[in-house]
């Protein structure tokens, strides 16, 4: 098994191959995504909302992120595993390097952090110690006060292109574009040589990422407009739990064949 790297993803862009990325927060999900050939697995700070029940991604802690990164890494996926640096974990270059190294010790192959021009020093510092960095511009959930489409004005679009180029120059191997106007996301993708990974940013990004719980229908909250649902596991689980409760109450479980 050949481990995929940031260079693999850059070569995929060069060849015009689309990159399918998903989040994972546990061993089994990482195994299944890897078996499906997903090349990029993100242990996202979305963990805070879809797994831990927080109201936003800002509440998830470094220790919680490391705990779930270790679980994903134990699957030993061929995919590149990226740890999402949580809010307030990269305020300075020194702090950013220290926490990025903790992600690597937990089994990640690189880290992601939010921001463009404001985090260039941190990106350079992390890359400088040999850790791959995935950038993230557009909507920034860790700091956004409202969830709005990004890049709607000419100035905002130009700022996104600028930030993507600056992140590439700082050494990032790719950039997530979240909730960016599709035409602007296309312009950004054409302006840099590193892959863009879109989420709610149109079909012209070099890849796409979804929160696995959203696409599996395994989340009881609001599902974003951009998240296509490929299954409805909430209903499957609800039906199974109800059937189990009924079988216990009617003494049809356990049956004689299930007893020792």
Question: Mean pLDDT throughout 127-156?
Answer: 95
CB count within 10 Å of CB 14 equals 11
Three-state DSSP class for residue 16? coil
pLDDT tens digits, 65-109: 999 999 999 999 999 999 999 999 999 999 999 999 999 999 999
- Apex 83 CA angle, 40 and 131, nearest 5: 90
In a domain? residue 98: yes
Burial zone of 259 (CB within 10 Å; 0-12 exposed, 13-18 middle, 19+ buried): exposed
In a domain? residue 67: yes
Q: How many Cα atoms are found within 13 Å in the side-chain-facing hemisphere of 171?
A: 17
Q: 1 pLDDT exceeds 90? A: no
pLDDT tens digits, 117-137: 999 999 999 999 999 999 999
In a domain? residue 63: yes
pLDDT at 149: 94
Confidence of residue 147 (pLDDT cuts 50, 70, 90): confident
> What is the chain's mean pLDDT, rounded?
96
Q: How far is residue 124's CA from residue 245's CA, in Å, rounded to a whole number?
A: 55
In a domain? residue 184: yes
In a domain? residue 23: yes
Q: How far is residue 165's CA from residue 120's CA, in Å, rounded to a whole number?
A: 11
Share of the chain above pLDDT 90, in %: 92
Q: 259 pLDDT exceeds 80? A: no
Confidence of residue 145 (pLDDT cuts 50, 70, 90): confident
In a domain? residue 226: no
Question: The domain spanning residue 77 has which CATH number?
Answer: 3.20.20.60
Please state the domain count of the chain. Answer: 1
List, in sequence order, every residue forming a beta bridge with 82; answer none if it has no partner.
Answer: 42, 110
In a domain? residue 245: no
- Apex 245 CA angle, 240 and 246, nearest 5: 95
In a domain? residue 128: yes
Q: What domain range is 111 assigned to? A: 6-210
Annotated active-site positions, please? Answer: 178
Contact 188, 160 (CB under 8 A): yes
pLDDT tens digits, 221-234: 777 778 899 999 99
Intra-chain end-to-end CA distance of the chain, in Å:
41
């Amino acid at each position: 098994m050949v481990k995929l790297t940031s260079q693999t993803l850059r070569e995929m862009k060069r060849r015009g191959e689309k990159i399918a990325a998903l989040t994972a927060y546990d061993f089994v999900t990482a195994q299944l995504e890897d078996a499906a050939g997903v090349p990029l697995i993100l242990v996202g700070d979305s963990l805070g909302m879809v797994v831990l029940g927080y109201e936003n991604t800002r509440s998830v802690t470094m220790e919680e992120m490391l705990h779930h990164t270790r679980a994903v890494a134990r699957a030993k996926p061929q995919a590149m595993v990226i740890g999402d640096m949580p809010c307030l974990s990269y305020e300075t270059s020194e702090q950013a390097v220290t926490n990025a190294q903790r992600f690597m010790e937990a089994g990640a192959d690189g880290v992601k952090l939010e921001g463009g021009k404001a985090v260039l020093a941190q990106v350079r510092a992390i890359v400088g110690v040999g850790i791959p960095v995935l950038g993230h511009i557009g909507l920034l959930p860790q700091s956004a006060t409202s969830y709005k489409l990004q890049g709607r004005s000419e100035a905002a679009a130009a700022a996104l292109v600028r930030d993507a180029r600056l992140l590439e120059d700082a050494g990032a191997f790719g950039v997530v574009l979240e909730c960016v106007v599709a035409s602007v996301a296309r312009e950004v993708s054409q302006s840099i040589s590193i892959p863009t990974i879109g989420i709610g940013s149109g079909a012209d990004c070099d890849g796409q990422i979804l929160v696995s719980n959203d696409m599996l229908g395994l989340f009881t909250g609001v599902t974003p407009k951009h998240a296509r649902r490929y299954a409805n596991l909430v209903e499957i689980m609800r039906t199974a739990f109800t059937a189990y409760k009924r079988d216990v109450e009617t003494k049809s479980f356990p049956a004689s064949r299930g007893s020792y």
